[in-house]
Amino acid sequence: MKSPVIKRSIVIAGHKTSVSLEDAFWKGLKDIAGGRDMTLSEVVAAIDGERQHGNLSSAIRLFVLDYYRHQNSEELGARILNGEMIASRSAVAVPAE
Domain boundaries, the chain: 5-85
Cβ atoms of 61 and 19 within 8 Å: the answer is: no
- For residues 94 and 87, what is the distance between their CA atoms, to the nearest angstrom? 13
What is the predicted pLDDT for the residue at 18?
A: 95
Residue 91 clears pLDDT 60, i.e. is over it: no
Least confident of 4-13, 21-30, 76-85: 76-85
What is the predicted pLDDT for the residue at 90?
A: 37
| ∠ Cα 2 8 19 (to 5°) | 85
Each residue's pLDDT tens digit, 10-51: 999 899 999 999 999 999 999 999 999 999 999 999 999 999
Q: Which fold is adopted by the domain 5-85?
A: Ribbon-helix-helix fold (1.10.3990)
Residue 67 clears pLDDT 80, i.e. is over it: yes
Q: What is the mean pLDDT of residues 58-70?
A: 92
| pLDDT, averaged across the chain | 82
- For residues 27 and 22, what is the distance between their CA atoms, to the nearest angstrom? 9
